Structure 1
Amino acid sequence: TTTGETDNWNAIFGGDGFQPLVDPDNTNVIYALSQRGNLGKSVNDGASFFSAMSGISSSDRKNWDTPIAFDPADSQTLYYGANRLYKTTNAAGNWSVISPDLTDGPYEGNLTFGTIISISVSPLNSDVIFVGTDDGNLWTTENGGAFWSNVSASLPNRWVTSVLADPNDVNTVYATYSGYRFGENLGHVFKSENSGATWDDITGNIPDIPINDIVKDSYGNLFVATDVGVVASLDQGNSWNVLAANLPSVPVTDLHIHQGSEYLYAATYGRSSYKINIAENILGPTNQDLQTTIALFPNPAQDTVVISFQHQAENIAVTIYDALGRKMMHKTIPAVLNKASLDISVLPKGLYYVGLDIAGAGTTKKLIKK
């Protein structure tokens, strides 16, 4: 859709339909793929396409769902994953190889092909790139491809379905995996804070299901696409909850966050696309002035939490949401000497968001119930 309307979809490229990219600086420019890495480019909003494969070797192995990615700092620079990584600096006018074969392939069969399936370029440093393959390899370069390091030694030998360079920390990266454990204690979501030198399994309470994608919003929250829907973590991966409202229990293949509107978009297999406003439906509205002058203590709290503030008010309207944005409590409580006490003993242990309305100003604060 070029209008954003939900009833205005048009087919613009052939094949089974794979990973499209829209130039963030010129929305008339669209890149689209069909199976086995056939890349086309449109400069007229999808009305027509021409081949954008110049420089990409026909003998290179390409996945059925070949990945492409923008450099977040330059829309003229893109990356294309075969069994080697390609780079263009002139909007796919021509491509150059910037890596050796990053797989252990080729392979026979129809599960593992020896191809790159995920690419992530750091928004903070374009020379830092992470690449995942369908045979369990995860590579990184810190100098734009001049030298590559394999950082997958302690990770599962499964499809690296997604890699994510953290938007706020150049040394932090996330990796997700497909596959079931077959009795093995293997995770599906991993995090490294040292560019892949060591990894922590942050799968936590996510069920034993394939993970297809991972994104991180401007609040620091993580969202992963699974074979049965979307799960979210609002505490850096310490715990996960299902985002189930109006979303069918089907494979979600891709996630995208529109940073301007804070909408999270989810693409499903066979059940169309969905969106949810993160700020309004998960976090709630924020008033920056009130945010800096209000406090909850103790935090973590057990049975009672005290709300202190600087605004003059006789009463405070309090609404508590759980990690999925569901309303758990709503009360109006009296304020005495710029303080109010709230009984939270009925709430289960976990992370909550406390929506506060004080003298017409609103904000949301995090609260941990222990």
Structure 2
Amino acid sequence: MTRSPATPLPPPKARRRLRETAALTQTQLADRVGVTPGTVRAWESGRTTPRGRKREAYAKLLKTLAEEGAVRAPEPEPKLEPESRPQPQPEAKPQPEPEPKVEPEGKPQPQPDSQPQPQPVAAPEPVALTPAQAFDALYAFSAPALVRQTFLLTGRREQARESVERAFQAAWEHWPEVARDRDPVGWVRATAYEYALSPWQRLRPRHRHPEPPPADPGDRTLLNVLLRLPPRHRRTLVLYDGVGLDLPETAAETEASTPATANRLLRAREAVAGRLPALADPQVLHRRLAELASNERLRAAEPPTVRRGGERRARLRTRAAIAFTVALVATTALTVRTAPTHYEPPVSPGQAVRGVPQRVAPGALSDEELELRQKLRDQMQDGPERLSPRLE
């Protein structure tokens, strides 16, 4: 059976430009296609490609937006062709200019030389950002949302803020890699989630003192239900129903297969619906997660503060590594200097002897001992004589 060719799509940048030209948000375009905003974000960034019916609907919508944009765009003024003029001969006198044409309505046609040609407007060159400016822009764009999302995983405001700051500090240390990544926000989000859900967080003294719960009873109940889920199920639920990623993106970020991710998502939804039946609908659950994260007053630090904190932490680690290396080298040199070059047997400790031990007289010999002594006396001490062959 032959497969029909896929519907052609414009490049990812052109898709985004068509959406912005039509003044549509990713959420509005996702509603018209029937997908989530995270899926539209992935299509416009080039991380994933639509398939099947969604591809046809997306291509049809983009074609409609392109046609509407062409209709709204101002039509260029028609270029007037110059009228034919007789070429002057070298000796002939110059011919007079022709009279303007008269249209049927009686309006004169303007001459081509009288109207200036429109000059093409050069597009402004993009301004290159420094690494610090690009980092600050990424932090200002994504840090507040990441803090709210991490709060859904941990239920602790300070831990969520610290996790996001540590993730951005790690991104600043690996900035060339993060800047070339197709999804820098996803890189930082994965690092923040790993730090927030680390089992070492339970050993910190701050973890022993609980923070005040949300003021709203509904938010408090939903947060308690989320915290009772296993960490993997909780992370999958937040990424899919909270952030809005599709199933392959959620599986890639959680480093799991797509069937395993789908199983975790179904189990998490069942657990939430079992305790809160009103949240059985995924759309309602998505709205409640957004409301829970938005109701808390979560603030993120300023970008320069995060950058300076990361640089200070990197300097401290470098100095600690240098100090440890110097101490190790000094200890090795001291050991080589003071270690013996040959083996010296240990001297046994002396024991004090007081007086002369009494002489012990042998007792009477037994019959077997007497027989053995007599046997030894009868035999030759130097062994038997040497045998020599003789003729018989």
TM-score (norm 1): 0.23
TM-score (norm 2): 0.22
Higher strand share: 1
Higher helix share: 2
Q: Which has the larger radius of gyration?
A: 2
